[in-house]
Structures are given as structure tokens and as C-alpha cells.
């Protein structure tokens, strides 16, 4: 059985196949209107996310299927102390495929251990959100006709923005892409993402104005006050990362502006009517790419999971101590780490690193 926990679960060929299906659905939606007749999607949202949930539900309905689930943890059995694997095991008796969102990293990974049906990760804390990345990729592909040889700017909070890390990871796998990092120094990419970027062409930019003329794609995110040490630090930079009509004038004619939404004030409402503003197109693409993904996973229910760990790399004697890891709240859980390089290992659920040998 195949699942989608992170974008890396998919090969470049598989990503291309999903995007191709999505584009075919857009061309002839009628051909897909009964593809999931008699099937059920469970949307298990242990924390609320209207946009993502409704996108999945609309996707399943347009495939002719049905939807059941919950939209917040208060409406679930979690309050009675049930573990995530137990909840998933139960729901997998009621549905053919599950989309789940959870505030803790690794929750969908632990869900795999008990599920009878494919799992789609619809966001696990600040960790992964692969259907957003597929949405971004479909939008770029539809707007530009390709996913390679693009100059892509990421603007705003690159430190905590999981959608940024994930899209970067995906675009690195396509040839000839260049990256422009537009952010305050304190909100730059985390070290492990920078490492992965080393073999690629990239530049850093402290202001949006400077970056605008170079870009084929501009990926906006929100700079939150709470991320700064002082209000003065925030005030010093906040205006540099807001997209307004004046800054849009500096961009290319065929620039494509993306944003994972919801936006607050980082993109002025006055930009919405600019034809280069593609963030609402993204919303619609999100529905189509989820339709394609549901079909992709349902067609592969009998295949083995692509997620393979070499047995000799697995470590069973270490304990993950991250408070946001799903293992911290799951009873009788087997903690498992995998070796990374020579001296480090990583929790297979939340992917937090630890030294392999205690010092």
C-alpha cells in the first residue's frame, strides 16, 4: 500500500504523473465524475484547517465519492485518551482512504503502523504538508509549462515556513532551477535545508525590491511579529517583505506570485486583480491535484510502500525526547531511529536528529 507522508515519498516520475492526471481532470472533469463512486474519504483533522479540509472534500465529491470525518480534536475520541494508531485503525474500517492533519510531527507516520487504507498527510505540525507542495508544483507547471530552469524567489519567513522547505526540496530535483532567498537574517532557512542547497545555484537578498526583477516565481509567506526578539527588530524589517502594487511594477511581465494562504497583510488586496497574482488559482489547483493524488494512491493499494528503511540502519534503543513528536503522547510506542551519516541518527517519526553516540 502506498501513502503520502512527505513529497520525498514520490519520485520525480510519480510527481509528473500526478500533475499530468490533474491537468487531464481540468480538461475533461466529466470523465472522472464517477471514478470513486461507492468509496469514502475520511478527513481526520485533529486541528482545524478549513481550506485544506474543504479542498479534500471537494476533490472526493468531484470524483463521485463520499466524505466523513471530524474537523477538530474536540469532536474526536482523542479526548477520551485514544492513541492515534487506534483511531486510525478504527477509521480505516469505515473509509477507503484517509487524509489526516495533526498538530504533532510524525502523527501520519505512526498512523501507517495500523492503517488498513492509504494515508495522506494533510499537515503534521511544522513538519510536512506534501499536498500543498503538489499544489504549488501544479500551479507552476500550468503557469510556466515546466518545472525546470526557473528562478524562484522565496520571501518572508524561511525559517519556520514548512511549505518553503518542501517546495525547495521538490524543485531541487528538477534541472536548472535557481533560488533567491528574500528574508531577514534571523528568519533564513534552517542549517539542514541550507546544506541541501549547497550544490545548487542560489542568492540571498535582504529586500523584495532588489529581488523582484530576477524572478520567474515569487513564493510569499508571512513574517510574524512573534518570531522576533523585540518589537523594534520586527519594525525594522516588516515593510521590506510586503508585496504591493508598487513592488509588482518591478517584476517581470510573466512573473507568477504564489502564497499558501491564508494571507493576512503580506500581500496587499490591491495586488489581487493583477493577472500575475496566482494565489487564488493555487486554491483551485489544490482541488485538482488532490483528486489526482487520491486516484494515484487508490490505484496502488496493492503495491508496497515506497518508504523503506534498510534494516541495518534502524536503531531501537534510543528515545525521542522532542515534546512535539507524536511518540511523546502515544502509549507503548516503539521508538525507532535511523542512522544518518556516521555520527547522527533521526527519529523516524518526527525526524528530529540526535547524536548516534551519547557524549
Distance, in Å, from the CA atom of 128 to the CA atom of 105, rounded to the nearest integer, reads 8
Q: Are strands 344-347 and 353-355 parallel, antiparallel or unpaired?
A: antiparallel
Nearer to a second copy, 63 or 168 (CB): 63
Which candidate in 80, 253, 302, 311 is catalytic?
Answer: 80
Separation CA 45–CA 75 (nearest Å): 10
Shortest CB 349 distance to a second copy, Å:
16
Closest CB 236 distance from a second copy, rounded Å: 22
Exactly one of 7, 21, 43, 52 is catalytic; which is it? 52
DSSP3 helix / strand / coil % (the chain, rounded to 5): 40, 20, 40
For residues 165 and 156, what is the distance between their CA atoms, to the nearest angstrom? 13
CB of residue 281 to a second copy, shortest distance in Å: 9
Residue among 283, 280, 276, 356 nearest 318 (CA): 356
Q: How far is the CB of 318 from a second copy (least distance, A)?
A: 20
Q: Of 232 and 269, which CB lies nearer to a second copy in the complex structure?
A: 269
Tell me 2's DSSP state: -
Residue 222: active-site member: no
Using alpha carbons only, give the angle 104, 305, 293 rounded to the nearest 5 degrees.
Answer: 75
Task: Mention every residue, 6+ apart, whose C-beta is less than 8 A from residue 240.
Answer: 184, 206, 207, 208, 209
The residue among 54 and 356 lying less far from a second copy, judged by its C-beta, is 54
Catalytic-residue membership of 227:
no
Select 57 or 216, whichever has its Cβ closest to a second copy: 57
Q: Are 112 and 5 in contact (CB under 8 A)?
A: yes
| Nearest distance from C-beta of residue 62 to a second copy, angstroms | 8
Radius of gyration of the chain (CA): 21
**Site of interaction with a second copy (CB under 8 A):** 33, 38, 40, 42, 48-51, 54-55, 57-58, 61-62, 66-72, 74-77, 79-82, 85-87, 89-91, 93-95, 114, 261-265, 268-270, 272, 280, 283-284, 287, 331-332
**CA–CA dist 8, 175 (Å, integer):** 17
Catalytic residue (choose from 2, 102, 127, 129): 129
53 an active-site residue?
no
Compute the least distance from the CB of residue 60 to a second copy, in Å.
Answer: 9
| Bridge partner list, 155 | 182, 220
Read off the DSSP letter of residue 351: -
- Residue 284 or 353: which CB sits closer to a second copy? 284
- Tell me if the bond preceding 323 is cis, omega within 30° of 0: no
- Contacts for 89 with CB less than 8 Å, ≥ 6 apart: 114, 115, 116
Residue number, 284 or 305, with CB nearest to a second copy:
284
- Which residue of the set 51, 149, 200, 225 is catalytic? 51
**Is 37 marked active-site?**
no
Does residue 43 carry a catalytic annotation? no
Q: Bridge-partner residues for 99, per DSSP?
A: 43, 120
Residue 263 or 335: the one with the smaller Cβ distance to a second copy is 263
**Least distance between a second copy and beta carbon 49 (Å):** 7
Q: Which of 40, 53, 101, 287 is catalytic?
A: 101
Residues identified as active-site: 51-52, 80, 101, 129
Amino acid at each position: 500500500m502506498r501513502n503520502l507522508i512527505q513529497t520525498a515519498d514520490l519520485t520525480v516520475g510519480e510527481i509528473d504523473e500526478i500533475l499530468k492526471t490533474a491537468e487531464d481532470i481540468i480538461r475533461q472533469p466529466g470523465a472522472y465524475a464517477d471514478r470513486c463512486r461507492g468509496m469514502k474519504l475520511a478527513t481526520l483533522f485533529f486541528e482545524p484547517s478549513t481550506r485544506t479540509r474543504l479542498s479534500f472534500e471537494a476533490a472526493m465529491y468531484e470524483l463521485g465519492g463520499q466524505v466523513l470525518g471530524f474537523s477538530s480534536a474536540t469532536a474526536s475520541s482523542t479526548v477520551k485518551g485514544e492513541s492515534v494508531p487506534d483511531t486510525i485503525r478504527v477509521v480505516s474500517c469505515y473509509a477507503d482512504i484517509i487524509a489526516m492533519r495533526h498538530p504533532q510531527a510524525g502523527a501520519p507516520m505512526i498512523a501507517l503502523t495500523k492503517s488498513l487504507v492509504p494515508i495522506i498527510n494533510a499537515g503534521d505540525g511544522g513538519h510536512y504538508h506534501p499536498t500543498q507542495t503538489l499544489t504549488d508544483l501544479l500551479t507552476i507547471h500550468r503557469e510556466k509549462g515546466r518545472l525546470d530552469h526557473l528562478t524562484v524567489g522565496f520571501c518572508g519567513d524561511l525559517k519556520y515556513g514548512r511549505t518553503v522547505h518542501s517546495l525547495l526540496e521538490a524543485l531541487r530535483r528538477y534541472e536548472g532551477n535557481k533560488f533567491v532567498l528574500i528574508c531577514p537574517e534571523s528568519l533564513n532557512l534552517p542549517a539542514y535545508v541550507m546544506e541541501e542547497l549547497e550544490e545548487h545555484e542560489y542568492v540571498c537578498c535582504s529586500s523584495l525590491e532588489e529581488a523582484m526583477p530576477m524572478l520567474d516565481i515569487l513564493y510569499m509567506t508571512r513574517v510574524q511579529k512573534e518570531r522576533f526578539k523585540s518589537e523594534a527588530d520586527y519594525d525594522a524589517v516588516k515593510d521590506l517583505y510586503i508585496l504591493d502594487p508598487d513592488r509588482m511594477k518591478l517584476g517581470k511581465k510573466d512573473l507568477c506570485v504564489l502564497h499558501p494562504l491564508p494571507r493576512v497583510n503580506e500581500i496587499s488586496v490591491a495586488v489581487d486583480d493583477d493577472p500575475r497574482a496566482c494565489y487564488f488559482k493555487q486554491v483551485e489547483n489544490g482541488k485538482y491535484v488532490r483528486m489526482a493524488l487520491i486516484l494515484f494512491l487508490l490505484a496502488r493499494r496493492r503495491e508496497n510502500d515506497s518508504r523503506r528503511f534498510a534494516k541495518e540502519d534502524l536503531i531501537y534503543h534510543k528515545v525521542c525526547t522532542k515534546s512535539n513528536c507524536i511518540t511523546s503522547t502515544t502509549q507503548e510506542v516503539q521508538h525507532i531511529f535511523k542512522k544518518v551519516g556516521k555520527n547522527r541518527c533521526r527519529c523516524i517519526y518526527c525526524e528530529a536528529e540526535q547524536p548516534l553516540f551519547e557524549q
